[in-house]
Amino acid sequence: MVLVAQKYKLLSVAIIRKYSSRLKKDWELKNYLFAFCRSSSNLQTSYSSFKTVRYDICTYKNKPCGTLGLASVAGMCEPERSCSINEDIGLGSAFTIAHEIGHNFGMNHDGLGNPCGTKGHETAKLMAAHITANTNPFSWSSCSRDYITSFLDSGRGNCLNNEPPKREFVYPTVAPGQVYDADEQCRYQYGPGSRQCKFGEVCRELWCLSQSNRCVTNSIPAAEGTFCQTATIEKGHVGCDNILESSVREDKCRVCGGDGSTCDAVEGFFNETSPRGGGYLTVVQIPRGSVNIEVREVAVSPAYIALKSETDEYYLNCGWTIDWPKKFDAAGTTFRYKRPTDEPESLVAPGPTTTNLIVMVLYQESYEGITYKFNVPITRTGSGDSDIGFTWNHQPWSECSTTCAGGFQKQEVVCKRVDDSSIVQDNYCDPDTKPPEKRRRCNIEPCSPEWFIGDWLECSKTCGGGMRTRAVLCVRKMGPSEEKTLDSSACLTHRPVERESCNNLPCPPQWVALDWSECTPKCGSGFKHRIVLCKSSDLSKTLSTAYCPQESKPSTRMRCSLGRCPPARWVTGDWGQCSAQCGLGQQMRIVQCLSYTGQASSDCPETVRPSSMQQCESKCDGTPTSNTEECKDVSKVAYCPLVYKFQFCNRAYFRQICCKTCQGQ
């Protein structure tokens, strides 16, 4: 196994405004992923594709839910599987995209078939099944590294062995959280009316105000660089010597405590144009070592300030391409380029610069001019009798770095003018002749016993009032790297607290699910149900469901089965009365196919269906017919043979009108 750093390069970005027929816009994510993979595989411009969408997506059901993305595991380099779909949730989409690309590289979730994220092992990271306040999505776990290494070693990622096209790209010099504060990140996720809710630790979980005026979170932390300071800061002025409440300041030459004698001010105005009617014009050259640089437009115009080196390396607005306002590093200092909507643009830097720079103006139409000013160092040597000399000198011994247990003193080396011994910047002296700094030990006696106070451990709760603890020990420092732990009685000051309350802000409302009901019906496939309530953080009040995040609401119905149901069976009723009062007749009964619940069914086999009719016989009355009454068929009746044939003689009416025929039976 060979561990090699992998770089995933973005080749192109396409904004799709009209969906093709194969990219059906619905929530059913698996169908949507398949359609997108088929579509992107035909482009043949990349080996992996990902798509972000601005509507709620879901797996296994065609309605919105909490799913953020879907990808084929180990689908990299397979044309119709090497892709992913991601829900656009603002800057947090970066975590989703990286997570789904990890699946393409064969990574399983941390804790699924691997120890990462389980008790006693490293915490779940970017490949956690669900990002929570306890996961770290800014890095990969060792399990993820093992998965991608195995995937590449197997040869399934060979399509990535080519050299991608080289494109110059200037990476941002500031973190995204410095460009977009927490309120702006919330607006990207939940709309223009959203802002940050002050819940918990923003660097672990960003809470935002939703459109329904509820505080919600998708458990993704704020972007790197987001201001998250919650502790108090000691206030006071700090001088350029880095001492609190010091009044020492830099002079115009940026010399701490200097008198401004080591530099000269340069100011000017430029408003020239070119007979060719537009292009780049040189405004001024800024020499090496310059400080407090300011270049400003006189008035708002279609002209732009540009900056380059003497070797034509452009830092700002080069090649007729206009940069956005930004901060950038050049020539050893940081420049800030501002271009407000309704104010002139400007370019400033504190300096000192390490190389010569050239300020230019790119204009297309008339402009009112550019002003500039900066301070340049006085030349190290002049000419003739007016030469100014500079030399290295050791400063007096500094104060001891500690009051006990062995500290250090040092003699810093500074550059001074020979004529008046004033301190100047180091670049005036010859760097090859600079002597080393002197150091010596001081205050070597042991320190008095004092309390060692450790950092507070994590709060036991993220909201609603928890407790946190810290280590408090009585120690005595014996040397720079030696401490001795003593009994608490050796420390004479009051013992600091070791335990305190924390995160006392009330928790947001939460879903509370009651117990599941029994499975119904009692056999076969069915459902069980439960009640889900929106409760206050202390569970004392039941609130409207609008106060709880809908995307995290537990399900209220779940499929279940208590085994196969008994088969349907034929059920017969009692036989009815015989149709004949005398002789042969018929009797009927009800035959039904019933399920085990007693409901009518059509699943009974016809081959075993019981008979619903049978022949019966009733005893006839033995009293002979009166001799006085002649037994004969009524002459007008012609169907007496049928009466006899179909055994209707047992009915009094037919027996009377067909007496002779019926006597013959």
Q: Please tell me the number of Cα atoms within 13 Å of 520 on its side-chain side.
A: 7
Cα radius of gyration (the chain): 46
CB 281 within 8 A of CB 361: yes
The three-class DSSP label of residue 594 is strand
Distance CA 651, CA 645 (A): 13
CB 351 within 8 A of CB 291: yes
Residues with a known catalytic role: 100
Backbone angles phi, psi at 660, to 5 degrees: -65, -45
The answer to whether 237 is annotated as binding is: no
- Which residues partner with 85 through β-bridges? 51, 70
If we measure between CA atoms, which residue out of 174, 116, 119, 169 comes closest to residue 143?
116
Structure tokens given for 249: 């300041």
Question: Using N-to-C axis directions, what is the helix angle for 142-153 and 93-104, rounded to 10°?
Answer: 40
If we measure between CA atoms, which residue out of 75, 10, 16 comes closest to residue 46?
10
Structure tokens given for 217: 């979170």
CB 194 within 8 A of CB 185: no
- Which residues partner with 559 through β-bridges? 527
CB 251 within 8 A of CB 258: yes
Which are the contacts of 651, defined by CB distance < 8 A and separation ≥ 6?
A: 580, 581
Structure tokens given for 356: 């010569």
CB 306 within 8 A of CB 362: yes
Amino acid at 205: E
User: Angle at the Cα of 114 (from 112 to 115), degrees rounded to 5?
Assistant: 110
Distance CA 332, CA 107 (A): 42
CB 344 within 8 A of CB 299: yes
CB 662 within 8 A of CB 655: yes
The count of other CB atoms within 10 Å of the CB of residue 512 is 15
Distance CA 645, CA 247 (A): 134
Q: What is the DSSP code string of 113-140?
A: SSSTTSTTSPPP-TTBSS--TTS-TTS-
The count of other CB atoms within 10 Å of the CB of residue 592 is 15
Pairing of strands 326-330, 407-411: unpaired
- Which residues partner with 285 through β-bridges? 358
Please provide the size of the chain in residues.
665
The answer to whether 394 is annotated as binding is: no
CB 334 within 8 A of CB 350: yes
CB 607 within 8 A of CB 628: no
The answer to whether 529 is annotated as binding is: no
Task: Give pairs for 428-432: CB < 8 Å, separation 24+.
Answer: 428/262, 428/377, 428/378, 428/380, 428/390, 429/390, 429/391, 429/392
Looking at residue 92, what DSSP letter applies? G
Distance CA 309, CA 288 (A): 11
Between the CA of residue 363 and those of 274, 280, 295, 324, what are the distances in Å?
Answer: 9, 7, 15, 17
Between the CA of residue 208 and those of 107, 219, 469, what are the distances in Å?
Answer: 31, 11, 29
Residues of each annotated binding site for Zn(2+): 99, 103, 109
Residues of each annotated binding site: 99, 103, 109
